[in-house]
Structure 1
Amino acid sequence: MLTVEESVVVNKPRIEVWEFMTDPDNVPVYCSNIVEYELVSGGKLEVGRICRGVAKVAGRRLELTDEMVEVERGRGGKLVSEDATIPYTLSLHYEDEGDGTKVTWHQEMESLKGFFKFADPIVLKMYARDVRSNLEKVKTILEA
């Protein structure tokens, strides 16, 4: 199992951070590796909602469709993409930390399937750096 886990503390209330990050319209705003992402079915913040998009990782375009399978208002959510180029599960958790919110991004993938010319550990390290940068961007946007 390949795992990427990164966290950041955003100096804003938990519900505000949760609402921003779970809104599909905002995903391309804070995720530099997402070049397309749109809601295709369901409500924006509801279990069962489906989004389709394209991510760019290590110079490769990866098509994805994900479904929100769990959501707890202001606390977290879980997305599953079984038909993506590289299937994954993404959990986002939000918890109070001081006057702010600690956001934890936890993503798991079975394998990169030899899709990249680099070894899995190298691609995973590059992707973890993207995730960290994206979380820092959320912090910058919301704290402005």
Structure 2
Amino acid sequence: MNEFQTPSLVATETGKLLEQEVYLNLVRTTEEVRLPLTDLLAGFGLSGKQYNALRAIRRSGSEGETPSGIGTQMAEPRADVTRLLDRLERESLIERRHDQKDRRVVRVLLSERGQRVLADIDEPLLQLHRNQFAHMRREDLEALSRLLVLARTSSEP
């Protein structure tokens, strides 16, 4: 892998700011870690957002999940859940049903096809993550996770 030069180039251009260096390294790392996942999901005909929505629906079990409940579980806070659900429904991965107790509420459930697709992704995804971070010690992974949460919480509105 080539060395990521942007932080030093930016420092030369505008002066070194550690916070900017951290930001640039975080963005670059995010992209490099995301690419193999994007490729894996593309092999199943899914985007990352679609996959996240399917996982949120699966977690809800046989009751299903509301679109707003799916939205709160998305990794991408600005995901257009309605459009995602429309696409997943066209692909026969989900079903929408009115709630038995309150017909105004729509519940989203995985179809049999959606369940199979997620089941087929589960193990390759776990192996991908194991491989991505195999060079890091458990303590380093725990520290990194803790630091990422800390960085995120300081910038949340």
TM-score of the superposed pair, with normalisation by structure 1: 0.31
> 1 or 2, which has the higher strand percentage?
1
Question: Which protein has greater RCO, CA pairs closer than 8 Å, 6+ apart?
Answer: 1
Structure number, greater radius of gyration: 2
> 1 or 2, which has the higher helix percentage?
2
